[in-house]
Amino acid sequence: MSKKGFFSIALLAVFVLSSCVVPLGGAPATPAPASLFPGGKRVIGYYAQWAAERKSFVSGIAAGKITHINYAFSNVSDKGECILGDPAADVERVYAANESVSGQADSNDAAALHGNFNQLLQLKQKNPHLQVLISVGGYTWSEHFSDAALTEASRQAFAKSCVDLYLKQYKGVFDGIDIDWEYPGGGGLSPGRPEDKHNFTLLLAELRRQLDELGASDGRHYLLTIAAPAGSGNAQNFERSEFIQSLDWINLMAYDLHGTWEKTTNFNAPLYKAAKDPSDASLNVDAAVQEYLKAGVPADKLVMGVPFYGRGWKGVPNKDNGLYQTADGAAPGLYEDGAFDYKELKDNYFSTYKRTWNEEAQVPSLYNPDTGIFIGYDDPESIAAKAGYIKDQGLAGVMIWELSQGNDDMLDAIQKGFQTGGLPHLVPTKDPNAAVVPRPFTQEIHSAGAIKIDAKLDDWPAEPTFTLNDKSQVVFGLNSNKWDGPKDLSTQAWVGWAPEGLYFAFNVVDDKHIQTSSDANLWHGDYMELQIDTQLEKDYDDLSMSDDDYQIGISAGDFAKVPPAIIVWFGPTTTPDVKTIQQAQVQTADGYILEVFIPKQVLHGITLSEGATFGMNINPSDSDGSEQEVMMSTSATRTLSDPRTLGKIILVK
């Protein structure tokens, strides 16, 4: 979800769950008008608890144009139980007549239901087809999911707490539960465990069991859904073909595919990849949808997310209307730097910025050369195109993040797309005479002798295979001054091969060694990244890391409390062979030495014999605080996950 930076002032206090008397109810919703939702498509809108603070009340929701509301968010306590996220917003705020769905001021009776929950209940009473789910977690509140999912007892306790709180105590307000764990195994703000992947499946099964048990006694069906990530990284930690049987549907977060965490401007949520897009081929909506379908998710259980907001950069040069240009960071926004509600764009930007429509990506952008600000966003034209795509693909419907950011024009565009279908996909044509982009380097790797993984360099030649100590080898930096020379970060790297596997040694100079994670979040600290491509030119047109490619993060830990760790972001993430990777590390006066052995059974698709070839980059990464600040690479063109930017390795004696 686009929820980074959205906090209620009320969250600064510690709240106690308040008791209240809630009107009983919970009858199944009546069907939505067929004319509004052709083909039984769902239109699901997230409504954030902080929206009322911005004068976007529940009463302003065009409920006749949607089928479901996901109310965001419930928190998860350190005991692994559902708790109110913001009691002041959820159940305590007293609404004035001009703010209320009913048009009447809330009662001052302390025992009465107040807040957004009461407003949602009133909205359902006026719109009998509407159903409301409580969304649990979110990007900010996923910290305790791993503990909640860890054991059978903890899973039962978590599910019971959610059912008791939202479907019993606040009976009638909610029709189901939406789980938004970002993310199993880590990768968001919070650490995780390798076993999160399967534990999440078990957690959803337990929720389904308890929801069905309650539904049997109430004579109705309670919904269970999840929000799931797009892109080829975090989605690898979901057992999608297994847990889909517990779910009514999946809400695919098909946005934030690009943003100001990247140096290059791009679209927030391109429907397709454009020919000039320099990014990974998995970072578009169509690629994400097709990847979920390939993973075993039925089309009629996949709801595709659309953003009612955009992402914007500052310091963008006046070239190609700002698209795919190097920027200086996040443009200032009303609520969050780098993020712009559609309503804000319409009110404050459309009149002074040039709009450009990209026919290949099927999304628009805004650019003003005077301000140097570029914004990739969605508008009614692109929303209609995406709704048409949903119709053409036979998907279950559309999900919106977030209702208060848009207007009726955006909701009407969804219905237009459902009626008309999508726009033609202009597939970029490939020039058959185009030259193959040369590899950034070619390097011979010699066979290794007897290498002992002991964090010593006495088994290796005097001359390293690679030396990384020059500014030209810096491929990522929060700003141009973050790399302060070889003493800040530099590396000597040795590589050798044997029939049994690949050997590596790294002598890293790092003036301030920091590592706080031993899970998928280790990239926020100091670590070594290996990128490996097994196919080279055989899959030259597949511009993304896929099952035949590897991206491995190796951390030496912090030599105190945080243990060393190896994380495989791409490649054989489900095989126990990963556990056979060996590493040893020792701290030195100016950094650390790290030795690694990756056995052959891990490196599926690679031949370890004389004359064999594959692609590889070695990328040391540095943090002097709480986030990644500098990365160097053997490839000057290194990107997150484009195998074409990997150097060519040739194995020799």
16: tokens are 């106690």
Residues 149 and 67 in one domain: yes
Instruction: Using the predicted structure, report yes or no on whether residue 571 has a pLDDT greater than 90.
Output: no
Per the structure, the complete domain to which residue 619 belongs is given by 442-652
3-class secondary structure, 453: coil
Residue 27: predicted pLDDT: 55
How does pLDDT run across 137-166, given as a tens digit for each residue?
Answer: 999 999 999 999 999 999 999 999 999 999
* Count of domains forming the chain: 2
Instruction: Using the predicted structure, report yes or no on whether residue 577 has a pLDDT greater than 80.
Output: no
**256 vs 336: CA distance, rounded Å:** 14
279: tokens are 């990014």
Instruction: Using the predicted structure, report yes or no on whether residue 170 has a pLDDT greater than 70.
Output: yes
Instruction: Using the predicted structure, report yes or no on whether residue 400 has a pLDDT greater than 90.
Output: yes
- Cα 214–chain centre separation: 32
Of 420, 452, 470, the one marking the end of a domain is 420
Average pLDDT over residues 296-311: 97
| Domain contains 19 | no
Residue 465: predicted pLDDT: 97
Residues 446 and 401 in one domain: no
Residues 388 and 452 in one domain: no
Q: How far is CA 3 from CA 73, 311, 338, in A?
A: 10, 13, 12
The answer to whether 626 and 517 are in contact (CB under 8 A) is no
| Domain contains 347 | no
pLDDT confidence band for 346 (50 / 70 / 90):
very high
Residues 396 and 517 in one domain: no
For 393, residues 6+ apart whose C-beta sits below 8 A from its C-beta are 289, 299
Encoded amino acid at 403, one letter = L
Residue 441: predicted pLDDT: 94
How does pLDDT run across 599-640, given as a tens digit for each residue?
Answer: 998 888 899 999 999 999 999 999 887 678 889 999 988 877
| Domain contains 340 | no
Encoded amino acid at 84, one letter = L
Residue 326: predicted pLDDT: 93
pLDDT confidence band for 576 (50 / 70 / 90):
low
State the CATH number of the domain containing residue 78: 3.20.20.80
Residue 157: predicted pLDDT: 98
Name the CA dihedral angle for 200, 280, 504, 603, rounded to a multiple of 10 degrees.
60
3-class secondary structure, 363: strand
Residue 343: predicted pLDDT: 97
**523 vs 630: CA distance, rounded Å:** 11
Pairing outcome for strands 68-76 and 397-401: unpaired
Of 354, 388, 420, the one marking the end of a domain is 420
**94 vs 137: CA distance, rounded Å:** 25
Residue 11: predicted pLDDT: 29
| Domain contains 436 | no
Neighbours of 635 (CB within 10 A): 21
Residues 456 and 412 in one domain: no
Residue 21: predicted pLDDT: 37
Residue 147: predicted pLDDT: 96
Residue 629: predicted pLDDT: 85
Residues 384 and 450 in one domain: no
Q: List the one residue out of 45, 36, 49, 60 whose CA is nearest residue 132.
A: 45
Residue 33: predicted pLDDT: 59
How does pLDDT run across 409-427, given as a tens digit for each residue?
Answer: 999 999 999 999 999 998 7
**Catalytic option among 182, 529, 595, 629:** 182
How deeply is 572 buried, as exposed, middle or buried, from its count of CB atoms within 10 A (0-12, 13-18, 19+)? middle
Residues 393 and 506 in one domain: no
Residues 463 and 395 in one domain: no
**578 vs 604: CA distance, rounded Å:** 11
State the CATH number of the domain containing residue 514: 2.60.40.1190
Residue 430: predicted pLDDT: 64
pLDDT confidence band for 234 (50 / 70 / 90):
confident
Residues 518 and 551 in one domain: yes
How does pLDDT run across 17-73, given as a tens digit for each residue?
Answer: 233 434 444 556 666 655 567 778 999 999 999 999 999 999 999 999 999 999 999
**522 vs 627: CA distance, rounded Å:** 10
| Domain contains 521 | yes
Residues 405 and 517 in one domain: no
* Mean pLDDT, rounded, of the chain: 89
The answer to whether 578 and 498 are in contact (CB under 8 A) is no
**Helix axes 380-393 and 408-420, enclosed angle (nearest 10):** 40
Residue 575: predicted pLDDT: 54
Instruction: Using the predicted structure, report yes or no on whether residue 508 has a pLDDT greater than 90.
Output: yes
Residue 427: predicted pLDDT: 79
pLDDT confidence band for 401 (50 / 70 / 90):
very high
Catalytic residue check, 182: yes
307: tokens are 């953003």
Instruction: Using the predicted structure, report yes or no on whether residue 12 has a pLDDT greater than 60.
Output: no
Residue 32: predicted pLDDT: 62
For 135, residues 6+ apart whose C-beta sits below 8 A from its C-beta are 46, 70, 71, 72, 73, 74, 178, 179, 180, 227
Residues 394 and 513 in one domain: no
Residues 118 and 191 in one domain: yes
Of 78-82, 89-93, 203-207, 438-442, which gets the smallest average pLDDT?
438-442
Instruction: Using the predicted structure, report yes or no on whether residue 584 has a pLDDT greater than 60.
Output: yes
| Domain contains 563 | yes
| Domain contains 330 | no
Q: Which residue has the tokens 């389904």?
A: 208
**% the chain with pLDDT above 70:** 89
Looking at per-residue pLDDT, the higher value among 59 and 576 belongs to 59
**179 vs 392: CA distance, rounded Å:** 27
| Domain contains 321 | no
